[in-house]
Structure 1
Amino acid sequence: MPDFAATPARLYTGALIVMGLLASACSPVNILNAVISDKGYRLSSGVAYGELARQRLDIYTPNAALTSQHESQDKTANTSQATRKGLPVVVFFYGGSWDSGDRGSYKFIGEAITSQGFIAVIPDYRVYPEVLFPDFMQDPAQAAKWVKLHAAEFGGDPERVFLAGHSAGAHIAAMLVLDPEFLAQQASQPGDFAGMIGLAGPYDFLPLKSERLKTIFGDQEQRPKSQPINYVTGHNPPMLLMVGDKDGTVWPRNTYNLAAKIKAAGGPVEVAEFAGYGHIDMAAKLAKPLRDQRMLETITAFIKQH
């Protein structure tokens, strides 16, 4: 695949490729992935974190981390692997309205994260109609715990594992760090993770209007349990909530309401706003050659800070 550098000529070439793929009726995700380089990282695909078919994940490791890891192993042959420090790890849960999505469609996210020198882990998880809320939270909790346990084996630092996601994936990541119930089922807790990064997340989205969502989230009495905003105590890990002010799918108030409640409770949270961006922009603008460098730099700064 072509490796686009941030120069006007190459960005123009990349734009032509995107327009060509659009003309051939490729899906938007396929368009984004088609122009993403295979260089700069190693992909370990389909790693099992459980026994079920959807309990698989992809690990994107920067090439520099692989070299560093081998050098560290050569120099410290008698040192326990568990004592070695590695790179920050970002566990990214994709969106899809809790009823669709697959890890293979998010190569562009893996490339974006590894381009900053971090490890990206993208899990699949069971969705509707196979599972409803709260059961669809079981796989993400299990994947998060698996990454925490195994991070050092693929060059990551177990003490710097971040949970992230876009749209429904941001909802999942927020639920994991705000409601301790799901991680507790895996003998883990929100404080085990270094932080949470949410892109265009639904955190306060009642009442439901869609009949499909009413089915996914159950009876009227149960639905408040699905809202991240209802679990704010001020004791959450640091959270970065990124929002586009033109999002017509998940209203920006979801981000603002959650951030305000966390701040009122004394918890660590920051909001990053992106003028003119809609719902899809908040993921697509991380992909080359469409990349908004400020978005990626905001994520990078948050990870390095924590």
Structure 2
Amino acid sequence: MAREGTSLPWTQDGPRPRLRRLGATVRRRAGAAVTDGFFRTATRVGRLHPLARPDRHGVEVVRDVPYREDGPCVLALDVYRPRTRSGLVPTVLYLHGGGFRILSKDSHWMMGIAFARRGFATFVVDYRLAPRHRYPAAVDDAAAAYAWVVRHAERYGGDPRRLVVAGESAGANLATVLTLAACYERPETIARRVWDTGVRPVATIAACGMLQVSDPERFRRRRNLPAYLVDRLTEVRDAYLGVPGRGGLVEAPLADPLCLLEEGGPPPRPLPPFFAPVGTRDPLLDDTRRLARAVERLGGTCRASYYPGQIHAFHAFMLTKAARACWAETFEFLEQVGVAPSRPG
């Protein structure tokens, strides 16, 4: 047994708390490095595939269009649109995932192609990333992109009156926030920018959303998740909001759109229909279940679609059977809610 005052790292009861914390930190950092490296490598490799060429799908791309020049850096988006079109086509504003920390419009080229080849003018947006740019930077940029698309979509062949907001994971969070800001007259200056456009989305696609960033422990409470998965979810919170007790934000309502839906009353402008696909092996599964209940409580509709055995963001692996089924259901949903462009070509 270690004597009082010694610095031995082990006691009769096992490792000291400091070593346990150190081990957890090393585990989290190693896991984050592996995860980040996987997605970055997959993005680079994916762009080499012949199907990554937009022209093979009848799609043209306008790259690096500035949508925000009033902040600390210039932010841009890419426009994917059908090469052959007659008049204005429905518009998609797409917000990429990546835990608010990684990825970009360049990593999500496949989303732009997928929507554009079905006849949508699709605006895939870059936004500032944590931890360098914490909340509310991403929301602020998403709101600026929304207002920009409403003003400029027609210049690129899109109809702002048929606007779909879409995203996966962290992007689904931002898409849901934009929807709330368009339907509720909220006090935040960021939200007012969306409300003041007067344009409500005609549909919202929130795929595998992380919709309550401030409380990653809720997943452990509801399900027995492995430590490495809880680590990934905690990293999102810590990067986006800061570490609780060490300068992290206490109040961040626009980081938790699910709570706003669950606690709010009927919106002045009706909520658009939601489509929320998710895999049953996704640790974020419960957020989609809660989203469906919350939207329906407010009198809206949410088509939550559960894909057996599928992991987080499975639909991004476009060539798999489950991903193809998910995309087919996505366009079926958009047709059912009246956003059905003519097929290009």
Q: TM-score, normalised by structure 2?
A: 0.69
State the Cα deviation string for residues 122-181 of structure 1 (Å, max 9, x = none): 010111133221232111111111111111111111111111001111111111112444
> Using the alignment, how far apart are the partners of 2:299 and 2:135 within structure 1?
29
**Counterparts of 1:1-306 in structure 2 under 5 Å?**
27-35=41-49, 36-39=52-55, 40-51=58-69, 53-65=73-85, 68-69=86-87, 86-179=88-181, 180=184, 181=188, 182-186=190-194, 188=196, 192-208=200-216, 210=234, 213-214=237-238, 216-218=240-242, 219=248, 221-223=250-252, 225-232=254-261, 233-235=265-267, 236-248=271-283, 251-284=284-317, 287-288=318-319, 292-304=323-335, 305-306=337-338
Q: Quote the offset at 1:244 in angstroms.
A: 0.8
What is the identity, as a one-letter code, of the residue corresponding to 1:227? D
Q: Quote the offset at 1:108 in angstroms.
A: 1.2
Structure 1 residues 140 and 224: alpha-carbon distance in aligned structure 2, compared to 1, 3 A threshold: closer
The worse-fitting range, judged by mean Cα deviation, of 163-172 and 34-43 is: 34-43
Three-state SS of the structure 1 residue aligned to 2:204 is strand
Q: What percentage of aligned pairs have identical amino acids?
A: 25
Q: Which runs of 5+ in 2 are unaligned?
A: 1-38, 218-233, 243-247, 339-345
> Using the alignment, how far apart are the partners of 1:116 and 1:44 within structure 2?
17
Q: Quote the offset at 1:187 in angstroms.
A: 5.4
> Using the alignment, how far apart are the partners of 1:255 and 1:42 within structure 2?
33
What is the identity, as a one-letter code, of the residue corresponding to 1:277? Q
What is the identity, as a one-letter code, of the residue corresponding to 2:44? N
Runs of 4 or more consecutive aligned structure 1 residues displaced over 6 Å after TM superposition: none
Three-state SS of the structure 2 residue aligned to 1:88 is strand
Larger-Rg structure: 2
Does the CA contact (< 8 Å) of 2:315 and 2:324 recur in 1?
no
> Using the alignment, how far apart are the partners of 1:54 and 1:288 within structure 2?
34
Q: Quote the offset at 1:227 in angstroms.
A: 0.9
Q: Quote the offset at 1:204 in angstroms.
A: 3.3
What is the identity, as a one-letter code, of the residue corresponding to 2:202? A
Does the CA contact (< 8 Å) of 2:279 and 2:285 recur in 1?
yes
Does the CA contact (< 8 Å) of 1:92 and 1:164 recur in 2?
yes
What is the identity, as a one-letter code, of the residue corresponding to 2:258? I
Three-state SS of the structure 1 residue aligned to 2:106 is helix
Q: Which runs of 5+ in 1 are unaligned?
A: 1-24, 70-85
Q: TM-score, normalised by structure 1?
A: 0.77
Q: Quote the offset at 1:191 in angstroms.
A: 5.0
Q: CA RMSD in A?
A: 2.4
State the Cα deviation string for residues 32-60 of structure 1 (Å, max 9, x = none): 33222331111000001111545100000
What is the identity, as a one-letter code, of the residue corresponding to 1:185? R
State the Cα deviation string for residues 68-104 of structure 1 (Å, max 9, x = none): 34xxxxxxxxxxxxxxxx1111111111111122211
Three-state SS of the structure 2 residue aligned to 1:122 is strand
**Alignment: residue pair count:** 260
Does the CA contact (< 8 Å) of 1:127 and 1:136 recur in 2?
yes
> Using the alignment, how far apart are the partners of 2:135 and 2:126 within structure 1?
16
Does the CA contact (< 8 Å) of 1:125 and 1:139 recur in 2?
yes
Does the CA contact (< 8 Å) of 1:94 and 1:103 recur in 2?
yes
Structure 1 residues 128 and 63: alpha-carbon distance in aligned structure 2, compared to 1, 3 A threshold: same
> Using the alignment, how far apart are the partners of 1:207 and 1:60 within structure 2?
35
> Using the alignment, how far apart are the partners of 1:271 and 1:123 within structure 2?
25
Structure 1 residues 44 and 196: alpha-carbon distance in aligned structure 2, compared to 1, 3 A threshold: same
Q: Quote the offset at 1:106 in angstroms.
A: 1.5
> Using the alignment, how far apart are the partners of 1:26 and 1:176 within structure 2?
27
Q: Quote the offset at 1:256 in angstroms.
A: 0.2
Q: Quote the offset at 1:188 in angstroms.
A: 2.9
> Using the alignment, how far apart are the partners of 1:288 and 1:212 within structure 2?
28
What is the identity, as a one-letter code, of the residue corresponding to 1:163? V
